[in-house]
Amino acid sequence: MTRVKGPARGACLVLATALGLSGVLAAEDASAAKGEFDHSFDHVSCIGGPNEVRVTVRGVDKSVGLMRADLYRNDPAGFLKRDGRVGKVSFAARAPFTQFCMRAPRDGEFAIAVYHDENANKTFDKKAFGLPDEPYGISNDPVIRFAPPKVDEALFSVSKNGASVVITLKN
């Protein structure tokens, strides 16, 4: 789906109205405003290769900075640790949701952790006591209380045909 912005958007609205399609564009605008997304999105990172994971990050408040994502194997000892990471990507953040693809190294169960690096310093900034200072999320949106979730709460299956994952940011 291609989204038209700026002055060209107005021209498209006039043409769509003339063709009786204004309801389609209005529905598209309403969906974007509500944070809904298209599962068949196009992004430069999406090539349709084997084990491709299509990621949608919801709850992005501002189109600033970077959306950073780390892919982890099914390993309780390595989850959310640098040594357990099997893939990472970074793309421009886009409100109200950011979509991109990343590739799992093989079929199997994996987990993803994302954070919105609002100041683009490539560091997950933290407040006192190690609490996150930037929005973050984990696949399957597990409940997070006083400790990080366990890897089994965040796992999803990746096949040769890939997978789709939706992650909601927590602030």
Asked if residues 69 and 124 have their Cβ atoms less than 8 Å apart, the reply is no
Domain boundaries in the chain? 1-34, 52-168
Asked if residues 132 and 23 have their Cβ atoms less than 8 Å apart, the reply is no
Q: Would you give per-residue pLDDT tens digits along the chain (171 residues)?
A: 344 444 444 444 444 444 444 443 344 444 444 445 555 677 888 988 899 999 999 999 999 999 999 999 999 999 999 999 999 999 999 999 999 999 999 999 999 999 999 988 888 878 887 778 799 999 999 998 888 999 999 999 999 999 999 999 998
pTM of the model: 0.76
Helix (H) or strand (E) holding 26: helix 22-34
Task: Give domain 52-168's CATH number out of 2.60.40, 3.40.30, 3.10.450, 1.20.120.
Answer: 2.60.40
Q: State both tokens at 51.
A: 């084990």
Nearest to 40 by CA among 53, 54, 51: 54
Asked if residues 31 and 142 have their Cβ atoms less than 8 Å apart, the reply is no
